[in-house]
Amino acid sequence: MNDETQWLSPREQHSWRAFIRLNQKLTARLGSELQTQSKLSGPDFAILVALTDDSAGRLRFQELAKAIDFEQSRLSHQIARMIKRGLVAREECAEDGRGAFVTITDQGRETIEAAAPKHVAAVRRLVLDAIPPEDLDALGDIAARIIRHLDETAP
């Protein structure tokens, strides 16, 4: 490592730190509201939403992992915990002896249906209410651009 590092300019640093800080605060805040209002963690919520999005409420581990961008192992642990709590169930796969489905249970469905409105309300109250729609669009566009860049840079 030489000493010609291109450090961040004050302006860059200011924006960058704000962005990082926002990520942290927001994840913490949304997670905490989810937890106290609905007894769900962020990952719990993401998984239940993904399962609900599927018409059968039932996905292979791979598909689910891809849908929410979880690593295989992380998902495996997460599902194991959720099974204990009765939110989802495991179902063997006839066509492929290795694989398995994750199914949402009735309890899981009730839970997510109760949680979703509260979560949306929190998102609105904490974020959307703070910025005008055109800023949200701008945010979304920039985020999408960076995501594409990340995916290209090293999958």
Residues that bind DNA (CB under 7 A): 28, 31-32, 35, 41-44, 60-62, 70-74, 76-81, 90, 93, 96-101
The option from DNA, a second copy, none interacting with 76 (CB < 5 to 8 A, set by class) reads DNA
Choice between 28 and 93, CB closer to a second copy:
28
Choice between 92 and 129, CB closer to DNA:
92
Choice between 77 and 148, CB closer to DNA:
77
The nearest distance, CB 38 to a second copy, in angstroms, is: 10
Asked if 96 contacts 18 with a C-beta cutoff of 8 angstroms, the reply is no
The nearest distance, CB 19 to a second copy, in angstroms, is: 5
Going across the sheet that includes 58-60, the strands are 58-60, 100-104, 88-92
The nearest distance, CB 2 to a second copy, in angstroms, is: 8
Strands (E), the chain: 58-60, 88-92, 100-104
CA dist 70 → 46, 121, 138 (Å): 10, 25, 26
User: Which residues contribute to the site for a second copy (CB under 8 A)?
Assistant: 1, 3, 5-8, 11-12, 14-16, 18-19, 21-27, 29, 69, 114, 116-118, 120-121, 123-131, 133, 135-150, 153-154
The option from a second copy, DNA, none interacting with 39 (CB < 5 to 8 A, set by class) reads none
The nearest distance, CB 74 to a second copy, in angstroms, is: 10
CA dist 132 → 13, 53, 136 (Å): 24, 28, 7
* 37 dihedral zone (left: phi>0; alpha: psi -120 to 50; beta): alpha
**Residues pairing with 89 in the sheet:** 103
Choice between 4 and 95, CB closer to DNA:
95
- Identity of the residue numbered 55: S
